[in-house]
Structure 1
């Protein structure tokens, strides 16, 4: 496989340190039969960033001509001409401006190189400390890389998996170095022998010797999911609906949803091949589906996926507050885009935004309960206005109590979001679910921090309502969180609960 090396050095380190890192990458590629594509490096704690990129054959990699220097074998080159190193801005190991910290320039350039090449690579780092100062920063870097279709692996032979490596290497993750050292050898040995780490996927169980064993009643469901997807062309939601309507449950006895269906369709374990910690062990356990069936599912998924993401969906103001009054699930924001031909032959397009019960959308267990965004939000705002007017008439000191309550609530939400992120990260590191779930927890953490930072202690509640349209989205949402516990939504009513 074609591989890209990436590392970060600190200003003041020994001059040959960068050279040793480059040699380690080349040795790694030779050992595991990877083809060297390019190397990128950032320097930390300096006003200058050293650039390095070279092809696997010793020549310069085919990079976009940005006018920046390319560091090859200890000298600065770019298309054969000498250039001074370009200035780097504040790139210290810090994420104080999280989640929008300025990226490392060569890390960004590496992503541009990957995207412009149209290829997928294995991105190799010495360890995850080269991707960030703490587990949160590391996960953000991994998510950015994997969004290009590439995979990340560490040169660390004990812990090549980046999530496991981050948990073991970075003390802020809450896992002691002593404990991580004790589990390294055991986990590596189990992976080499194809023994399952963490919970086995649906369709399998742990056998007596630690390998995967087929659970036939679950395997029937796995095959049905692939058949519905490939042969009948059903989407994720319709497959979940098909299973739920027939009383087929997940391993935990719950309903199927789009996420659980997607995770099964993308899991190569069902072909009998074990993938973990950078290892690929064919025929390590009994297959449930053929490799051909798995490839067909991946090709079908790729064909459905948009080639580029050109539209950024606006956030929804009542996310996390509105819940279905019939099943108790959250009301999720949905954006639909339609285009049609008018009678005069001209094309028209429309964008429709509404809240819909996610019990129907993800699990198909509820009815089609929807509210247009503008209607529900204006209804909620009018109720909040009435609640504030009543409270002001009864007790003018209640605003201070509300502010104190909000501060406590927002702080608690940030702590809970941080806890969920770490729990999710550890679960993903054990192989219980994919990086997408961790990404969701990370977005929830970002949202909690934004809300905690956006609210204003000096708000005049009624004045805020009066100038509502001039406020930013973050301020509007923080204000609603201050006064609303939840919104119970039914077809003909929406009730604000404080």
Structure 2
């Protein structure tokens, strides 16, 4: 495989010299038959100033110019590489920073691996070298040794994917009736051109259930279409072991699915859509599932021959969208948001003036809100760490860890937005000019739930 090397030095005088690190990279490539393509390294004093918000990977790339140049090289080449680092400390000074870098690199289609033969998996390596307080190193070593031995033998780690079970010898065995569903999903996706939602709808309408007897949704279908385990190949700890268990689909069919997914992937214009203000607050009155924000673009040609494009934003019942349950309950986004704001203004305005106009009351209310957000941040940090460990054990992929990081970022952003005292009249008068985060933080502070019906809305404070 084509490989790119990366290292990062600190002010620590005990750091290995760059020449030695580059030599190690070359030896690693020779040992594992990789083709070295490029080598990048950041050194002390080369970092640029950043905005310091710490809520994304953009600032990470700016702090380390060679890291940024490496990412630019990867994107410009349009190729997938193996990105080799000495260990995970070369990607961050703490666990969170290292994981963000791993996610950012792997989002380009590359794979990250550490030169450490004992801990090549970057997540395992990060937990070992940058591990959080309270983790027993001895216990961690015993677990990792056991997992590495199982991985070398192609034995499963954690819950097997749908279509397989763990056999008596630890290897994956095919579950015939589940395997039939896996083949059906690939057939519908590749040969009939059905999308994720329509495949889920097809299975649900025929009472074909998940392993737990539940209904299918877009996420479960997507996970099956992305999992290379179904080709009989085992991936873990930097290992690729082909034909270690029975395949359910052919490698050719798996590649077709990946190519089709890439071809269907929306352009960057449609990805960078504006977030929805009521996400997480609005619920369908008919099934109690969340109302999710949806953006649709439509193009048409007018009589005069000019092409026109319209962008439509609305909230739709998530059950309808993901599981084909419930009815077609939908609201235009601007109408629902303005209706909620109008109701909220009346609800808050009906309270006593001391509640929302007294500085003392405002300070007390915001202190309570800040305590609430501090707890949410701690909970988000705990969930991130817990699920990072699960991902390092092989229970699920890096994408799930990224989701927990985004939840942590969101909690921090919303907490920061509540630092200012709320003044109802001022907030309402400047509503359209306020940053999205501040508007959403205001709603989260004063609204516990929004119940959406076809013809009316109930705001619960």
C-alpha change, 1:384 and 1:401, in structure 2 (3 Å) is farther
Corresponding position: 1:325 with 2:285: yes
Comparing 188-197 with 162-171, greater Cα deviation is found at 162-171
Task: Select 1:89's aligned residue among 34, 44, 48.
Answer: 48
Question: SS at 1:464's partner residue?
Answer: helix
Corresponding position: 1:356 with 2:319: no
State the distance in 2 between where 1:434 and 1:395 align. 47
State the distance in 1 between where 2:34 and 2:94 align. 29
Residue 414 (structure 1) shift: 1.5
Corresponding position: 1:271 with 2:231: yes
Contact 1:318–1:477 (CA<8 Å) still a contact in 2?
yes
C-alpha change, 1:329 and 1:387, in structure 2 (3 Å) is same
Name 1:37's counterpart in structure 2: 37
Question: SS at 2:352's partner residue?
Answer: helix
Contact 1:195–1:210 (CA<8 Å) still a contact in 2?
yes
State the distance in 1 between where 2:406 and 2:81 align. 26
Residue 488 (structure 1) shift: 1.0
Q: TM-score, normalised on structure 1?
A: 0.87
Task: Select 1:402's aligned residue among 365, 371, 385.
Answer: 365
Aligned ranges 1:176-215 → 2 under 5 Å: 176-215=136-175
Name 2:3's counterpart in structure 1: 3
Name 2:107's counterpart in structure 1: 147
Corresponding position: 1:383 with 2:383: no
Contact 2:6–2:83 (CA<8 Å) still a contact in 1?
yes
- Count of matched residue positions in the alignment of Structure 1 and Structure 2: 455
Corresponding position: 1:230 with 2:190: yes
State the distance in 2 between where 1:23 and 1:309 align. 42
Corresponding position: 1:454 with 2:417: yes
State the distance in 2 between where 1:168 and 1:361 align. 41
Aligned ranges 1:98-117 → 2 under 5 Å: 98-99=55-56, 101-103=59-61, 104-117=64-77
C-alpha change, 1:419 and 1:14, in structure 2 (3 Å) is closer
State the distance in 2 between where 1:18 and 1:185 align. 30
Contact 1:120–1:148 (CA<8 Å) still a contact in 2?
yes
Residue 404 (structure 1) shift: 3.5
Corresponding position: 1:334 with 2:294: yes
Question: SS at 2:351's partner residue?
Answer: helix
State the distance in 2 between where 1:386 and 1:456 align. 24
Residue 497 (structure 1) shift: 0.9
Q: TM-score, normalised on structure 2?
A: 0.93
Contact 1:95–1:137 (CA<8 Å) still a contact in 2?
no
Contact 1:406–1:481 (CA<8 Å) still a contact in 2?
no
Task: Select 1:472's aligned residue among 425, 435, 439.
Answer: 435
**What is the CA deviation profile of residues 154-174 of structure 1, one whole-angstrom value per residue up to 9, with x for unaligned ones?**
111122111222222212275
Residue 12 (structure 1) shift: 4.8
Name 1:85's counterpart in structure 2: none
Name 1:221's counterpart in structure 2: 181
Structure number with higher helix proportion: 2
**What is the CA deviation profile of residues 169-226 of structure 1, one whole-angstrom value per residue up to 9, with x for unaligned ones?**
2122753322222223212111111011111111111111111111112111111111
Name 1:300's counterpart in structure 2: 260
Contact 2:366–2:418 (CA<8 Å) still a contact in 1?
no
C-alpha change, 1:448 and 1:291, in structure 2 (3 Å) is same
State the distance in 1 between where 2:14 and 2:119 align. 26
Question: SS at 1:385's partner residue?
Answer: helix
Q: Gaps spanning 5+ residues in structure 2: where? A: none
State the distance in 2 between where 1:419 and 1:231 align. 43
Task: Select 1:411's aligned residue among 370, 374, 398.
Answer: 374
Corresponding position: 1:441 with 2:398: no
Q: Gaps spanning 5+ residues in structure 1: where? A: 50-87
State the distance in 2 between where 1:449 and 1:438 align. 17
Residue 459 (structure 1) shift: 2.2
**What is the CA deviation profile of residues 318-369 of structure 1, one whole-angstrom value per residue up to 9, with x for unaligned ones?**
1111111122221111111111111111100011111111112122222211
State the distance in 1 between where 2:16 and 2:127 align. 29
Cα RMSD after superposing both structures? 2.1
Contact 1:402–1:483 (CA<8 Å) still a contact in 2?
no
Contact 2:370–2:419 (CA<8 Å) still a contact in 1?
no
